[in-house]
């Protein structure tokens, strides 16, 4: 007679008491007949575990067990039956799949194997290595079995915590009365005020209890790198593969400044990626270093590519330095340092070993700004692509430069904003001396560090340790690839439906990929996920391939990181062929914002989205939905007032009566006819002439007088502040540079941007280093004019000089009357052109 149907039990069946925080134990054992001896024994084990504070989740099939392993990061132990059933009846030994999944997700999770008939000797060797103990369910008492599992779970939990976080929790638990800063004293001060109480309740007591003073000796010192803080830094160094790691609490901007400040002396020459963050420039300002810029390539989309290898050879660098006006009277004719952004904002990452070989021939120390790339070490797809991969095995000592990497831990790993790290891999050539480096580190550090940030850095590193880190990176990569393939497949679905105009969005990647193992080629949309997530060759920018459009590359030199996804819009392609119709990406971005989807960066015909560790299928599904809806609005001739209602309301005279398609056509025409993309190319490949070093320029900004000036008057003047335009988000003018004659590429490019702004109110080009004057316009709403902040007015508040000793304050020119649409005149802070640079002044 068949028995009663077997109850399927999955999910939590026993709740924990709060004694053990977040401990969940997986019981992956076949469904058993309710009321049977085995069932009663399992129930008793669960009850004992729950009593001692653990939550127990039960899985009756391998599928359920796998789902729990993937989604329950809080597992602290598992009991897995070797005889587990396969839900689909396909697998011979489903328990092996479950154990493999545990192994790939958790380091050292205690796993107990439930054995019935099988003898331990018959198990595969790797299984014996994974499991920490065996359980014969009916041979021991339930309390004994539960006790063994519970103890192992607690030990695992104890060992899981990294050094600083563990001590911070212990310290918090001691509940001492403190007499030190901060004055809120564990949050108590907030409780004495109604508004303070709201803040306290909002963040919760724990944040304030762990916001401690530097005088708490038990937790160590961030300056002396001692105690639990020092242990945490050393643990991070191990995880990131560094010789030395420093925790920085003021962003990667500060890490960049520290690295340069600790490495470059006054008037020394530095090779600087033109595609650098402004903090690099600030570092040079502090040190008095003299930049010689390495110019990256660009493609037809206007995306900034890598610096080509031929520009990094020793000969090319010698020639660059000979041409560089700032080399005259430098402290040494040889450069001391090179700094390169890796990966670029658009996800192009170098073969760091090759980069080190090339640059190592000219400089003894290189700095890779990996603000957006802290996860690279944790996935095999990025082997050799990150700075700490440059070791004695990959480059011989006599050629290998010392490598520093600076990382915004908070950007793409899980940490609080501003949390960053500097990693060092020493070589016998120019090794970092900790004591000297630490002097610089302390100069840039606060004496009141926020301890929860340190705990965040400690945990961010621990999360990436062992298989957990690879699993996390792999998940982001996998979701990004799924998104890319889904976008590519929409095209086919629309084509086969045959009832609407063709698909026009895409994502930027190769159209074809080849499996190097089998030689088989696939259209990207059809390529196996496993191939794309594990095979770097699928993402490599091979020389001459049209899909990327960058010239001068070597095979394997540069890789497109799958997690940084550029959505491409029609209008141009990677080799710069412009089409008759187009959809400028600014319009797509504005539309997505109305759907509460905010992209990372928008260029002329591309926008960038990042697949970080926080990605979910729901998130990218919503983005695809947004793209599809934009297309139907475009195809159906929807009115602009319907698509971008706020824009149409704000600028009724400018956009009245237009459809979405009209706006796309107008904007595309303006971009094409003003030749914005070729001008951009021209502007970047012909950097302006430097006349002062960053430090000299800064001194003039402070004391020698600068004046704001309109773009129209900028020819042959020397700029005092950095000018960064988006696209592409990197500096077009560095302080101390002279853009040249009126028709110089950079000035034509800036004027084209200004025209664009004038013609498309509501879509201002993002330009840093310039500001705008507000002006009333006739017949239209007020429109902004741009001008710099007046640095002299700004600086006057803290100017220590007596008034008489200060340079005369310059007045801003009074803006003239505006026309019906409004006008944008760019005003830039200038240093008066003085004698050419030679010495630091
Ligand atoms: C290349 C690069 N370096 C450094 C930084 C500065 O990072 P943070 O915001 O952590 O100061 C950024 C920020 O966007 C960046 O893109």
Measured between alpha carbons, how far is 569 from 692 in angstroms, rounded to an integer?
A: 40
- Ligand 1 within 6 A of 253 CB? yes
**Same domain membership, residue 459 and residue 504:** no
- Ligand 1 within 6 A of 369 CB? yes
pLDDT at 674: 92
- Residue in the structure block whose two tokens are 């004019």: 785
Overall number of domains in the chain: 4
Residues 325-338, mean pLDDT to the nearest whole number: 97
Query: Cα of 253 to ligand 1 centre, how many Å?
Result: 6
388 torsion bin: left (phi>0), alpha (psi -120 to 50), beta (else) = alpha
Query: Cα of 279 to ligand 1 centre, how many Å?
Result: 8
**Same domain membership, residue 491 and residue 443:** no
- Ligand 1 within 6 A of 256 CB? yes
On the question of pLDDT at 800 being above 60, the answer is no
Answer for the pair 557, 309: CB distance below 8 angstroms, yes or no: yes
Out of 115-124, 332-341, 751-760, pick the least confident.
115-124
pLDDT at 180: 75
End-of-domain residue from the set 114, 144, 160: 160
pLDDT band at 123, cuts 50/70/90? confident
Angle between helices 227-240 and 163-173 (to 10 degrees): 150
pLDDT digits (tens, 9 = 90+) for 16-27: 443 446 789 999
pLDDT digits (tens, 9 = 90+) for 168-199: 998 877 666 667 788 898 899 999 999 999 99
Inter-CA distances, 130 with 28, 98, 107, Å: 15, 11, 10
**Same domain membership, residue 458 and residue 517:** no
**Same domain membership, residue 303 and residue 406:** yes
Pocket test residue of 249, 259, 279, 410 for ligand 1, highest count of atoms within 8 A of CB: 279
Pocket test residue of 247, 250, 251, 258 for ligand 1, highest count of atoms within 8 A of CB: 251
In a domain, 411, yes or no: yes
Measured between alpha carbons, how far is 495 from 70 in angstroms, rounded to an integer?
A: 36
On the question of pLDDT at 441 being above 50, the answer is yes
SS3 371: coil
Query: Cα of 549 to ligand 1 centre, how many Å?
Result: 26
In a domain, 172, yes or no: no
161 torsion bin: left (phi>0), alpha (psi -120 to 50), beta (else) = beta
Pocket test residue of 371, 387, 412 for ligand 1, highest count of atoms within 8 A of CB: 371
pLDDT at 700: 86
In a domain, 645, yes or no: no
State the residue range of the domain holding 382.
228-464
- Ligand 1 within 6 A of 245 CB? no
On the question of pLDDT at 215 being above 50, the answer is yes
In a domain, 450, yes or no: yes
- Ligand 1 within 6 A of 746 CB? no
Give the mean pLDDT of the chain: 86
Specify the residue with its C-alpha closest to ligand 1, atom 7.
252
pLDDT at 780: 20
- Ligand 1 within 6 A of 277 CB? yes
Return the bridge partners of 402, or none.
365
pLDDT at 9: 43
Residues 614-622, mean pLDDT to the nearest whole number: 82
pLDDT at 175: 62
pLDDT at 659: 97
pLDDT band at 405, cuts 50/70/90? very high
In a domain, 178, yes or no: no
CATH number of the structural domain spanning residue 704: 3.90.100.10
Burial of 649 (0-12, 13-18, 19+ CB in 10 A): exposed
pLDDT at 773: 57
Query: Cα of 283 to ligand 1 centre, how many Å?
Result: 13
**Same domain membership, residue 396 and residue 293:** yes
The token pair that represents 474 in the structure block: 């792999």
**Same domain membership, residue 299 and residue 267:** yes
pLDDT at 174: 67
Measured between alpha carbons, how far is 105 from 473 in angstroms, rounded to an integer?
A: 11
Measured between alpha carbons, how far is 341 from 833 in angstroms, rounded to an integer?
A: 31
On the question of pLDDT at 728 being above 80, the answer is no
pLDDT at 836: 36
In a domain, 561, yes or no: yes
Query: What is the position in ligand 1's atom list of the atom closest to the CA of 420?
Result: 10
On the question of pLDDT at 668 being above 80, the answer is yes
In a domain, 212, yes or no: no
Q: What is the DSSP letter of 566?
A: E
CATH number of the structural domain spanning residue 333: 3.40.640.10
End-of-domain residue from the set 611, 638, 665: 638
CB atoms closer than 10 angstroms to residue 796: 13
- Write out the H or E segment, with its range, that includes residue 315: helix 314-323
In a domain, 208, yes or no: no
The token pair that represents 180 in the structure block: 């030190």
pLDDT digits (tens, 9 = 90+) for 266-287: 999 999 999 899 899 999 999 9
DSSP string spanning 132-187? Answer: SEEE-TTTS-HHHHHHHHHHHHHHHHHHHS-HHHHHHHHHHHT-----SSSTTTTT
**Same domain membership, residue 529 and residue 451:** no
pLDDT at 833: 41
Out of 291-300, 685-694, 699-708, pick the least confident.
699-708
**Same domain membership, residue 88 and residue 25:** yes
CB atoms closer than 10 angstroms to residue 158: 9
- Ligand 1 within 6 A of 279 CB? yes
pLDDT band at 61, cuts 50/70/90? confident
Query: Cα of 249 to ligand 1 centre, how many Å?
Result: 13
pLDDT digits (tens, 9 = 90+) for 556-588: 999 999 999 999 999 999 999 999 999 999 999
Residues 470-481, mean pLDDT to the nearest whole number: 96
Query: What is the position in ligand 1's atom list of the atom closest to the CA of 253?
Result: 11
- Residue 823 sits at the vertex; the CA angle it makes with 682 and 790, to the nearest 5 degrees, is 80
**Same domain membership, residue 491 and residue 455:** no
Cβ neighbours of residue 639 closer than 8 Å, sequence gap 6 or more: 648, 658, 659, 660
- Ligand 1 within 6 A of 367 CB? no
Burial of 814 (0-12, 13-18, 19+ CB in 10 A): exposed
**Same domain membership, residue 500 and residue 448:** no
% helix, strand, coil for the chain, step of 5: 40, 15, 45
CB atoms closer than 10 angstroms to residue 446: 11
b/e map 767-795, b = 16+ CB within 10 Å: bebbbbbebebeebeebbbbbbebbbeee
Query: Cα of 255 to ligand 1 centre, how many Å?
Result: 9
Query: What is the position in ligand 1's atom list of the atom closest to the CA of 250?
Result: 11
CATH number of the structural domain spanning residue 515: 3.90.1150.10
**Same domain membership, residue 486 and residue 456:** no
pLDDT digits (tens, 9 = 90+) for 518-538: 999 999 999 999 999 999 999
Measured between alpha carbons, how far is 312 from 100 in angstroms, rounded to an integer?
A: 44
Measured between alpha carbons, how far is 486 from 488 in angstroms, rounded to an integer?
A: 5
Identify which has the larger pLDDT, 216 or 159: 159
pLDDT at 177: 65
Outline where 422-465 has alpha helix (H). Answer: 434-443, 451-463
Measured between alpha carbons, how far is 39 from 25 in angstroms, rounded to an integer?
A: 17
The token pair that represents 315 in the structure block: 């000969």
Pocket test residue of 343, 411, 722 for ligand 1, highest count of atoms within 8 A of CB: 411
Rounded to the nearest 10 degrees, how much is the dihedral formed by the CA atoms of 619, 623, 624, 630? Answer: 160
Query: Cα of 307 to ligand 1 centre, how many Å?
Result: 19
Question: What's this model's pTM, rounded to 2 decimal places?
Answer: 0.88
CATH number of the structural domain spanning residue 131: 3.40.50.2300
**Same domain membership, residue 632 and residue 682:** no
Residues 629-646, mean pLDDT to the nearest whole number: 96
Query: Cα of 252 to ligand 1 centre, how many Å?
Result: 5
DSSP string spanning 606-621? Answer: EEEEE--TT--HHHHH
- Ligand 1 within 6 A of 785 CB? no
End-of-domain residue from the set 131, 160, 189: 160
């Amino acid at each position: 007679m068949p028995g009663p149907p077997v109850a399927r039990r999955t999910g939590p069946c026993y709740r924990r008491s709060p004694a053990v925080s977040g401990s969940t134990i997986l019981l992956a054992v076949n469904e058993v007949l309710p009321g049977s001896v085995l069932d009663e024994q399992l129930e008793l084990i669960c009850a004992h575990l729950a009593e001692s504070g653990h939550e127990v989740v039960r899985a009756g099939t391998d599928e359920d067990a796998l789902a729990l392993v993937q989604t329950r990061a809080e597992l602290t132990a598992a009991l897995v039956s070797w005889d587990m059933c396969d839900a689909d009846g396909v697998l011979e030994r489903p328990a092996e799949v479950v154990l493999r999944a545990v192994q790939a997700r958790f380091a050292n999770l205690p796993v107990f194997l439930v054995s019935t008939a099988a003898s331990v000797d018959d198990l595969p060797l790797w299984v014996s290595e994974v499991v920490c103990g065996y359980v014969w369910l009916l041979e021991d008492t339930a309390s004994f079995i539960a006790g063994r599992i519970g103890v192992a779970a607690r030990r695992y939990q104890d060992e899981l915590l990294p050094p600083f976080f563990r001590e911070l929790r212990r310290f918090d638990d001691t509940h001492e009365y403190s007499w030190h800063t901060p004055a809120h004293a564990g949050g108590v001060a907030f409780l004495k005020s109604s508004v303070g109480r709201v803040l306290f309740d909002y963040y919760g007591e724990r944040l304030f209890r762990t916001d401690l003073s530097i005088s708490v000796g038990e937790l160590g010192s961030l300056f002396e790198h001692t105690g639990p803080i020092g242990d945490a830094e050393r643990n991070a160094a191990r995880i990131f593969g560094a010789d030395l790691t420093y925790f920085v609490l003021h962003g990667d901007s500060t890490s960049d400044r520290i690295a340069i400040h600790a490495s470059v002396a006054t008037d020394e020459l530095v090779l600087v990626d033109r595609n650098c963050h402004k903090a690099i420039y600030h570092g040079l300002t502090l040190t008095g270093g003299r930049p010689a810029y390495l110019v990256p390539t660009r493609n037809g989309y206007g995306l900034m590519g890598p610096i080509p290898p031929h520009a990094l050879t020793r000969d090319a660098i010698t020639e660059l330095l000979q041409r560089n006006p700032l080399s005259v009277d430098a402290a040494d004719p040889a450069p001391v340092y090179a700094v390169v952004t890796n990966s670029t904002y658009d996800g192009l990452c170098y073969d760091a070993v090759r980069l080190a070989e090339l640059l190592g021939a000219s400089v003894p120390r290189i700095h890779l700004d990996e603000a957006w790339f802290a996860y690279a070490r944790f996935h095999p797809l990025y082997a050799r692509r990150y700075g700490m991969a440059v070791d004695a095995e990959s480059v011989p000592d006599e050629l290998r430069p010392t490598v520093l990497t600076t990382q915004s831990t908070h950007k793409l790993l899980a940490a609080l904003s501003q949390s960053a790290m500097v990693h060092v891999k020493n070589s016998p050539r120019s090794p970092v001396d900790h004591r000297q480096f630490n002097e610089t580190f302390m100069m840039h550090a606060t004496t009141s560090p926020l301890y929860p940030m340190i705990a965040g850095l400690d945990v961010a590193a621990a999360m990436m340790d062992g298989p957990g880190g690879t699993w996390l990176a792999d998940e982001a990569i996998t979701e990004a690839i799924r998104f890319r393939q889904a976008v590519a497949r929409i095209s086919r679905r629309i084509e086969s439906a045959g009832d609407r105009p063709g698909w026009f969005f895409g994502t930027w990647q190769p159209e074809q990929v080849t499996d190097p193992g089998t030689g088989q080629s696939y259209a990207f949309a059809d390529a196996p996920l496993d191939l794309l997530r594990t095979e770097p060759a699928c993402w490599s920018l091979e020389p001459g391939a049209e899909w990327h459009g960058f010239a001068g590359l070597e095979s394997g030199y540069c890789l497109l990181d799958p997690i940084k996804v550029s959505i491409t819009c029609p209008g141009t392609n990677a080799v710069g062929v412009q089409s008759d119709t187009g959809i400028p990406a600014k319009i797509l971005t504005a539309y997505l914002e109305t759907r509460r989807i905010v992209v990372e960066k928008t260029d002329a015909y591309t926008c960038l989205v990042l697949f970080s560790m926080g990605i979910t299928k729901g998130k990218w599904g919503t983005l695809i939905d947004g793209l599809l809806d934009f297309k139907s609005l475009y195809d159906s001739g929807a009115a602009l007032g319907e698509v971008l209602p706020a824009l149409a309301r704000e600028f009724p005279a400018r956009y009245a009566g237009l459809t979405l398609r009209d706006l796309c056509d107008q904007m595309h025409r303006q971009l094409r006819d003003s030749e914005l993309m070729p001008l951009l190319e021209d502007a970047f490949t012909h950097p302006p002439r430097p006349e002062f070093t960053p430090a000299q320029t800064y001194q003039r900004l402070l004391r020698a007088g600068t004046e704001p000036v309109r773009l129209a008057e900028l020819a042959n003047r020397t700029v005092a502040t950095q000018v960064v335009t988006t696209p592409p988000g990197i500096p077009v003018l560095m302080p101390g540079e002279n853009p040249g004659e009126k028709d110089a590429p950079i000035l034509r490019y800036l004027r084209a941007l200004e025209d664009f702004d004038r013609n498309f109110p509501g879509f201002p080009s993002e330009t840093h280093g310039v500001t705008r004057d507000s002006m009333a316009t006739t017949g239209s709403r007020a429109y902004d004019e741009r001008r710099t902040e007046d640095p002299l007015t700004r600086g006057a508040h803290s100017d220590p000089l007596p008034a008489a000793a200060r340079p005369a304050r310059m007045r801003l020119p009074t803006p003239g009357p505006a026309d019906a649409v409004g006008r944008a005149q760019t005003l830039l802070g200038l240093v008066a052109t003085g004698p050419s640079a030679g010495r630091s002044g």
